[in-house]
Amino acid sequence: MKMNYRKKENILILSVISIALLVMLFPIYWMLVSSFREQEYILSYPPSLLPSHTTAENFIDIFTKTNFFLYFRNSVIVAVFTVILVLICGALAGYSFSRYRHKYRNLLMLLVMSIQMFPLVGILIPLYTTYVKLKLTNSFFGLTFAHTIFTLPFAVWFLKGFFDTIPRSIDEAGYIDGCSRFGVLVKLIIPLLQPAMIAVTIFTFLKSWDDYLFCLTLNTQPQYRNLPVGIAITSFGEYGQNWGYIMAISSAAVVLPLLGFIFLQRYMVSGLVQGAVKG
């Protein structure tokens, strides 16, 4: 009798999880399958759930007929620079918050954390007008800085938590061996925190990669658009009804983050958990 109850419970749990997994994965699967399907069969009824009429034509077309590579390159440039800037500033600031106590420490820490939650649409207009004046619109530099604002607070806060876990005796050992403060940070502490640095890199890269609002607002010229804006334009514009193209461009855009998610997930999860469970 008891056995039976357990079994029923297990079946219930398994079925709930299976449904959840199905719902979570199906749209991704559907996107991939559709992107490899011949145009006319995408529009056929009833839609076949299994891959059929496979072709790479959609991909070849978006690579040759649209500005995909331009958007892709722009996204990469901005994301890479954002990551570099965030890693440098984030590591320095995080180290400072972790190691030095002074009057303004708590205040500054609070500021950084409140920015983490700050709705950035709130500064869109002044940011835009300032950018226009500084001639920073339609530049990678301007967009990189905009992306840095919304990724930096997380990095500072997150790395500070990791610096806290490294005993100060390591710093002191470094000083005794003749390292400067900067030397201690770069040569001793950062190598110990490689996983944390990887996590910050992925998150920063992802957030920059996924940004739509800032690129749409600040970089209005086509040659500075990033991938999300490119996707949106494809889906609104002349290929608006061409679902094969739209799915292909979406698939091609998601490949990089998806690979990152699959191979580096343990770093990301530990990162998120560190941030939320510990504080």
Nearer to another protein, 28 or 173 (CB): 28
- Report the C-alpha gap between 32 and 14 in whole angstroms: 26
Nearer to another protein, 56 or 258 (CB): 258
> Which one of residues 11, 28, 60, 132 is an interface residue with another protein (CB under 8 A)?
28
Q: What is the DSSP letter of 47?
A: P
> Which one of residues 42, 189, 197, 248 is an interface residue with another protein (CB under 8 A)?
42
Site for another protein in 204-223 (CB under 8 A): 206, 209-210, 212-213, 217
User: Would you give the binding string for another protein spanning residues 8-27, x where CB under 8 A is met?
Assistant: -xx--xx-xx--xx-xxx-x
Contacts of 140 (CB under 8 A, 6+ apart): 74, 77, 78, 81, 224
Question: Residue type for 214, please?
Answer: F
Nearer to another protein, 175 or 177 (CB): 175
The reply to whether 188 sits near another protein by the rule CB under 8 A is no
| Rounded (5°) CA angle 67-72-74 | 100
Question: Where are the alpha helices (H) located in 36-139, listed in sequence order?
Answer: 39-42, 57-65, 68-99, 105-117, 124-134
- Report the C-alpha gap between 279 and 275 in whole angstroms: 5
The reply to whether 52 sits near another protein by the rule CB under 8 A is no
The reply to whether 198 sits near another protein by the rule CB under 8 A is no
Site for another protein in 124-163 (CB under 8 A): 124-130, 139-141, 145-146, 148-149, 152-153, 156
Tokens (6 digits) for 28: 């991704």
Site for another protein in 231-250 (CB under 8 A): 231-232, 235, 243, 246-247, 250
Question: Residue type for 136, please?
Answer: L
The reply to whether 265 sits near another protein by the rule CB under 8 A is yes
Q: What is the DSSP letter of 122?
A: G
**Of the ranges 55-63, 110-118, 187-195, which one interacts with another protein (CB under 8 A)?**
110-118
Contacts of 184 (CB under 8 A, 6+ apart): 170, 171, 174, 175
Nearer to another protein, 52 or 141 (CB): 141
The reply to whether 100 sits near another protein by the rule CB under 8 A is yes
The reply to whether 180 sits near another protein by the rule CB under 8 A is yes
> Which one of residues 7, 8, 44, 175 is an interface residue with another protein (CB under 8 A)?
44
Tally of CB atoms within 10 A around 277: 7
